[in-house]
């Protein structure tokens, strides 16, 4: 797609849009470094504060503005991503789930993948990908019950998580730490009480760790929910981020529904270019509707 004539048109149009890149971890350190160097040549990296100020004062961001974000709080963001970002002076945002800090409790999707690989749930005939798709569609109580069944008779799954001290270091060194819910449920599959608790409890814990209140939220799995948005409004949040694989306007239309592009440190250079231009998201969207 990079060599398609459409890439030139989309590339020009991208100059008037806001590209919010939605990463998780930094699995490929060299690949991530190349991506950052490319962004420094062709884009204008901005901070979350820049986006918040643009929204508050209704002042569009500069052309080719790009904001880097990381979901979940994977250790690789601290160990590999932070040094590369700090070296280049590029700001970013890390949306973390504070219930996991200072523990070896795994992300629930990592636990599912590990358990299924070890044979759990084999009688269902589901692959790991099918298990994950299934658990993202059922109500919260059912998801938790099915997780308990997968754990039966199995050794506990462990995964090293960030510490509170490391989170404070991220926040002090240019990767602003913000709210990603307490335990990373699918909020649109939760009860009203669970939605409020997931956001407010995480808010309180992060405020205690950081010494300031969070002002930005990334919907877990990108699942926007009107009840969640109301809680965020009640708490005075300034921005909220989706995971819809879209470019947004330089001045976001709705501060609590800002689009993001799905990307990874392992994304090949050609695809990286078409994602930034908006061509890949456009084709992806057409295929999704087909």
pLDDT tens, 148-177? 999 999 999 999 999 999 999 999 999 999
Give the whole-angstrom CA distance, residue 20 versus residue 279.
Answer: 15
Q: For the residues 241-268, what does the mean pLDDT come to? A: 94
pLDDT of residue 290: 34
Q: For the residues 57-70, what does the mean pLDDT come to? A: 94
3-state secondary structure of 37: helix
Q: For the residues 17-30, what does the mean pLDDT come to? A: 96
pLDDT tens, 219-229? 999 999 999 99
pTM (predicted TM-score): 0.93
Strands 44-45 and 92-96: unpaired
pLDDT of residue 220: 98
Reported as a pLDDT band with limits 50, 70 and 90, residue 194 is very high
Strands (E), the chain: 17-23, 44-45, 65-72, 92-96, 175-179, 216-218, 239-241, 248-249, 261-262
pLDDT of 260 over the 90 cut: yes
pLDDT of residue 9: 41
pLDDT of residue 254: 94
pLDDT of 205 over the 90 cut: yes
pLDDT of residue 281: 78
Q: For the residues 205-223, what does the mean pLDDT come to? A: 98
pLDDT of residue 148: 97
pLDDT of residue 6: 54
Burial class (CB in 10 A: 0-12, 13-18, 19+), 133: exposed
Burial class (CB in 10 A: 0-12, 13-18, 19+), 104: exposed
Q: For the residues 172-183, what does the mean pLDDT come to? A: 98
Q: Give Cα 264 to chain centroid, integer Å.
A: 11
pLDDT of residue 13: 55
Percentage of residues in the chain having pLDDT higher than 90:
86
Percentage of residues in the chain having pLDDT higher than 70:
92
DSSP string covering 159-194:
-----HHHHHHHHHTTEEEEE--SS---GGGS-HHH
pLDDT tens, 264-286? 999 999 999 999 988 777 765 55
pLDDT tens, 72-128? 999 999 999 999 999 999 999 999 999 999 999 999 999 999 999 999 999 999 999
Question: Residues with Cβ < 8 Å from 242, sequence gap 6 or more?
Answer: 219, 222, 224, 257, 258, 259, 260
pLDDT of residue 8: 44
Q: What share of the chain is helix, strand, coil (3-state, %, to 5)?
A: 50, 15, 35
pLDDT of residue 73: 97
Q: For the residues 138-146, what does the mean pLDDT come to? A: 98
């Amino acid at each position: 797609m990079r060599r398609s004539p459409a890439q030139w048109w989309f590339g020009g149009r991208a100059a008037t849009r806001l590209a919010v890149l939605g990463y998780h971890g930094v699995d490929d350190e060299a690949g991530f470094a190349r991506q950052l160097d490319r962004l420094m040549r062709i884009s204008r990296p901005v901070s979350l504060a820049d986006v918040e100020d643009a929204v508050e004062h209704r002042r569009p961001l500069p052309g080719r503005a790009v904001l880097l974000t990381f979901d979940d709080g994977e250790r690789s963001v601290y160990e590999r991503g932070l040094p590369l970002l700090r070296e280049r002076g590029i700001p970013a945002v890390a949306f973390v789930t504070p219930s996991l800090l200072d523990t070896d409790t795994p992300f629930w999707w990592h636990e599912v993948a590990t358990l299924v690989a070890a044979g759990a749930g084999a009688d269902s005939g589901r692959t790991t990908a099918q298990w994950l798709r299934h658990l993202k569609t059922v109500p919260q109580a059912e998801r938790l019950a099915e997780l308990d069944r997968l754990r039966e008779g199995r050794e506990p799954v462990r995964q090293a998580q960030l510490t509170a001290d490391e989170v404070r270091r991220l926040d002090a060194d240019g990767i602003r730490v913000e709210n990603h819910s307490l335990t990373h449920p699918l909020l649109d599959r939760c009860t009203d009480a669970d939605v409020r608790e997931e956001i407010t409890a995480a808010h309180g814990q992060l405020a205690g760790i950081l010494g300031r209140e969070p002002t930005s939220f990334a919907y877990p799995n990108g699942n926007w929910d009107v009840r969640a948005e109301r809680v965020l409004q009640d708490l005075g949040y300034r921005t909220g981020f989706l995971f819809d694989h879209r470019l947004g306007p330089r001045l976001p239309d709705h501060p609590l529904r800002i689009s993001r592009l799905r990307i990874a440190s392992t994304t090949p250079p050609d695809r990286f270019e078409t994602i930034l231009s908006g061509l890949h998201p456009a084709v992806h969207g057409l295929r999704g509707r087909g």
